[in-house]
Structure 1
Amino acid sequence: MKKIKMSIAVSLALVCGGVPVLSDAGTLTGGATMPEQIVQEGTAIEQLMKQAEAVQLQIQQVTDAAQNLEQVPNQMWQPAAQDLNQLAQIESQAQGLSMAGQNISSTFAQQYPQYSSTSAATIGQYQQWSQNLLNSTQGALATQNMSAQDFQNNAQSLQTIENEPVSGRLQALQVGNQIAGNVATSLQQLGTMAAAQMHAQDAYMANRQQSQNASVSNNQKWATTTEQAVQSGNPYNG
């Protein structure tokens, strides 16, 4: 029973991390302009993805080294527990970046109402991504018959991990390794979504500018034609 509890605590640290704590995640971009915001969003996702891949590798290495051991010794467990804690933070930041992407799309649609339908679709994709990430974490727990309801917060979970006996550490590492892989893959998908969002907004602005240029050109042609007709004494000609 204590083995199950310890593993739940490890995994719950990740689930708790999956809930974004940034109520104003859009402020990730500070006072940047809209094009700068979307570029910053993509850069932040790329950096976070590299962190996730590094943590995944570290957890995988400890898991592989511990496979043939009856118990995971403290000297192996302590850095692994730190990696799991970092993974929880990465997942939380990923959810925050998803929220920031939604905010950027919503703000863009407010500035350009004709873009609202595309914006709504983009926001829906981000929301689905966030739900999929949470589902994948819960699915990893379910493979070990675990639940995320036993502890109230991330700090309590980690404290419980440190105080638990070594008998459940390998199971905890295996679950953490699976979740780390899910997070890394999800961040790749998030990066693809952010790139598609940037492309769509850039394309809209380019088309909008093209339409404005065409309108200005037509107005200039009309003005020139009218002036020439007036000068010729026949303002209704042409």
Structure 2
Amino acid sequence: MTEELFPAEPREVAPGAVHLPGRLGREEQRELLAACRRWALPPAGLRTVTMPRGGRMSVRQVCLGRHWYPYGYARTVVDGDGAPVKEFPAWLGEWARGAVAAAYDAHPLPGGQPERLAYDIALVNFYDDRARMGMHRDSDEQSSAPVVSFSLGDTCVFRFGDAEDRGSPYADTELAGGDAFVFGGPARLAYHGVPRTRPGTAPAWLGLRGRLSVTVRQFEPS
């Protein structure tokens, strides 16, 4: 799916965690951006999340398939306009399964390749110039299927640790527009976050200021 003549090889950041540079070419990035702009429209559109202690996330967010709120999932936007969550598109699940196959073909997953992946939910985060994401784990899903994240727009610093605690040793990876990142197996519950983006690094042809991440997950075991 990449447009580079000699694309960078998948790189293992930790066992089960693989960076796929240039996974999406120009047309795929444009297609995904157009979809994100549709999903961002109300009802059940882009919102700012308020945490239980009153803090507000600096990213803005929209959900597909099921609505995420701190710390669970619902069929409607329970912390917003109450509308039914938008449908998860089958093509996005296909993209995620393709990324998982590419990641673990290059760097086999400890315990073997995952089977029966039925991706059905996604979280879209929009980062403006000042937004970031604190260290956290994706632990609200019932399935242990690998998480797949696609990046659009500005490059970010993606910080990836382990499952022990937020302050444990971590590795920083730059995710550019079009990159994918897969983490499953022993890395599935690792702490990760985005301490900063690099404003102005989005390609001009995309027509996006800021960064979008589209994180695809499986809610229930298949």
**Alignment TM-score, normalising by the size of structure 2:** 0.23
**Alignment TM-score, normalising by the size of structure 1:** 0.22
Structure with more of its chain in strand, by fraction: 2
Bigger relative contact order (CA 8 A; separation at least 6): 1
Structure with more of its chain in helix, by fraction: 1
